[in-house]
Amino acid sequence: MKLIIAILKLAAVCVLATSGALAVAAQGTSADELLGDADRVVQQIDSNRYVDVWHDAAPFVKAKIPQDQFVSGTRQSRQALGAIVRRGWASVTRVQYAGQSGIPDGLYANVNYATTLTNGQSVIELLSFQLGQDGTWHLTGYVPHQR
């Protein structure tokens, strides 16, 4: 009987630990969730859905950059790459900003994709995000650059 009670207590602790982990994931801090959001954004960019990307961008980005300017700049950056053969995430970095000039306080993340173009050239595509008050990641920037 003591063994059964001990197992039940252990199960209760596991359930509490799991629910805590799920609560954190629900707040948008999961790396898997971030990578999923980043994959969605690069798919939108690849599909010329720049307006959709702008609509989902961080509010401070939309306040500073008009939609047409964001769309044309992102389109130009992406089109300069040409066709992509392969893309995979290379790194994820999260940073908490507080009291930085010009940057709203909050949790930010960078996702770097290692990308191979049809001409064999390798580039890095950097996507930057801010964790919104809604618990989801919102794009703050897209910058492809040579390796």
Each residue's pLDDT tens digit, 58-83: 999 999 999 999 999 999 999 999 99
**40 pLDDT band (50/70/90 cuts)?**
very high
Confidence check: pLDDT of 112 > 50: yes
**100 pLDDT band (50/70/90 cuts)?**
confident
Task: Report the pLDDT value the prediction gives residue 13, as an integer from 0 to 100.
Answer: 36
**101 pLDDT band (50/70/90 cuts)?**
confident
Establish if 17 belongs to a structural domain.
no
Establish if 20 belongs to a structural domain.
no
Number of domains in the chain: 1
Percent of the chain residues topping a pLDDT of 70: 80
Residues forming a β-bridge with 57: none
How far apart are alpha carbons 72 and 51 in whole angstroms? 10
Task: Report the pLDDT value the prediction gives residue 31, as an integer from 0 to 100.
Answer: 87
Establish if 73 belongs to a structural domain.
yes
Establish if 124 belongs to a structural domain.
yes
Task: Report the pLDDT value the prediction gives residue 4, as an integer from 0 to 100.
Answer: 38
134 or 30, which is more confident: 134
Establish if 15 belongs to a structural domain.
no
CATH number at residue 51: 3.10.450.590
Task: Report the pLDDT value the prediction gives residue 147, as an integer from 0 to 100.
Answer: 74
Sign of the C-alpha dihedral computed for residues 32, 40, 72 and 104 taken in this order: negative
- Across all residues in the chain, what is the average pLDDT? 84
Percent of the chain residues topping a pLDDT of 90: 72
> pTM for the complete prediction?
0.78
Task: Report the pLDDT value the prediction gives residue 91, as an integer from 0 to 100.
Answer: 95
How far apart are alpha carbons 57 and 105 in whole angstroms? 16
How far apart are alpha carbons 136 and 36 in whole angstroms? 11
Domain that holds residue 125: 25-146
Establish if 65 belongs to a structural domain.
yes
